[in-house]
Amino acid sequence: MDGAAGVPADLLGGHPRMLSEAAATGRLPGREALDGYRAAGARAAELGLPLRELVDAALAMAETAVSGPSGPGSSAPGDSGLGGSASDPAASDPAASDPAASDPVWPGPSGQGRTKGAAPAVLSALRRAVSALMEGYENAQRLAIRQEEAARREFVDDLLHGRADRLAERAEHFGLRLAESYVVAVARPAGSVRAGGGSAPTGSGGTGTGSGGTGPGGKAAAPDAARNPGLRDGDPVARRIEEALVARFGSHNVLVAVRDGLLVCVAPGSLSAATGEFTHHVRQAFEPGWCVGVGRAHRGPGGVVASYREAGNAIELGDRLGLRAPVLKAADLLVFPVLLRDREAIDDLVTTVLSPLLEARGGPGPLLDTLEAVFAVQGNQAAAARKLGVSTRAVTYRLERIRRLTGFSPDDPTQRFTLETAVLGARLLDWPAQPLGPVARA
């Protein structure tokens, strides 16, 4: 039949008989029959049959069961089992002699006999059957989606942790070719997501060094769980951003996923516009205070892990140093990992150069802030004063005080570099809030 085109014959094999029984007895399909329809719907989904074709086949079978086969040699609907001949008007037109025969005529379970007034039962049975078919089909699709999402989460975890169990083979399924070099960008929301998004965490901007950030294992800076729960798996914001990136760059060029409350984007290093486009959509989706860290391009599965850690480190360094730029690139911050690599040396530098500031009236805080502001504007004291909200004379006085206490002047090129490096080291080590020396290193 036309409606069953493309549908396996055994998929709805018992459907016509069920309709005929409903017409003959008025009995609706029971639980076992409906479970069979659900199983047929699930199998159709697994076979990749469109739902429209499945439902159309079921309706076409119902139409045939009701009207009977049509053709030059076939009898009129419902004639099977009726007496009379074509030359007898009363036999050919039952309504002419029996007004009750004007009711709809339906074939019985064996195709013989007739049941009058069975239309409601058949329609009810058909509705329940089609509903069970659609339920089974949709349940199978939802299960497939959940399985795909679980496989995707597992792949992303393995990729970002560097676990290489069939990684290249699985990467192909998700559109990545790990022989290439890849860049990882990580976005951290500051507070609530804009209207239309999924999560709505309430909290302030960046997290401090104790709230998230990269530990010894290089874990990306995650939001504070209490103040800013971040994104979750399946978040509509992540899905919307991924769809936008896939629409522009193709499904085989980008991978977007949620990891530890952060939004992670993996893109080929040759696709330089991808991280910019990712940042553009993050800006539109997140409230002000968001931050994006961008790692450098590295090759292979291990390169994805390295770039991911660099992106997380960039966000953490921005928190430690109080950097206000919303986009932090690991390539621009390479000096800071170098400073932290030799902890003993940076401890010694900060202690030697800056510890005299502890004797200043009011503590070292205002003097450190002044040095940071002066270095940020390339030594322009008027601009530093505006940045700090004080007078130029106050900045001049503070710099002189620093020179007297430490013996280092920002006006001297050599001493300026030493001072600036010490100030950066102090921010990285959270000095003076965190003590330095043998106790801290132990």
Residue where the block lists tokens 């009750």: 100
Per-residue pLDDT at 291 exceeds 70: yes
pLDDT score, position 320: 80
Strands 181-188 and 298-299: antiparallel
Instruction: Determine how many CB atoms are found less than 10 A away from the CB of residue 357.
Output: 20
Q: Mapping DSSP to helix (H, G, I), strand (E, B) and coil, where does residue 113 land?
A: coil
Per-residue pLDDT at 311 exceeds 60: yes
Query: How much of the chain, in percent, has pLDDT values that exceed 70?
Result: 69
Per-residue pLDDT at 110 exceeds 50: no
> Token digits for 75?
């009898």
Digit-coded pLDDT (tens) for 401-420: 898 888 888 888 888 888 88
Second CATH level (architecture) for the domain 341-441: Orthogonal Bundle (1.10)
Whether the Cβ atoms of residue 117 and residue 103 lie closer than 8 Å to each other:
yes
Give the total residue count for the chain: 442
Second CATH level (architecture) for the domain 181-333: 2-Layer Sandwich (3.30)
Whether the Cβ atoms of residue 22 and residue 29 lie closer than 8 Å to each other:
yes
Q: How far apart, in whole angstroms, are the C-alpha atoms of residue 203 and residue 205?
A: 7
Per-residue pLDDT at 107 exceeds 70: no
Mean pLDDT of the residues in the chain: 74
pLDDT score, position 165: 59
| Region 324-341 average pLDDT | 83
| Region 344-363 average pLDDT | 86
The larger pLDDT score, comparing residue 223 to residue 429, is at 429
| Region 204-225 average pLDDT | 40
For residue 173, name the pLDDT band (cuts at 50, 70, 90). low
Per-residue pLDDT at 238 exceeds 90: no
Lowest mean pLDDT among 9-23, 88-102, 117-131, 233-247: 88-102
| Region 193-221 average pLDDT | 39
Digit-coded pLDDT (tens) for 124-166: 888 898 998 898 888 888 777 676 666 666 767 667 766 665 5
pLDDT score, position 68: 56
Cα 387 from chain centre: 39
Digit-coded pLDDT (tens) for 378-396: 888 899 899 889 999 999 9
pLDDT score, position 64: 73
Query: Which residues does 361 contact at the CB level (< 8 Å), separation at least 6?
Result: none
- Domain borders along the chain are 2-141, 181-333, 341-441
For residue 49, name the pLDDT band (cuts at 50, 70, 90). confident
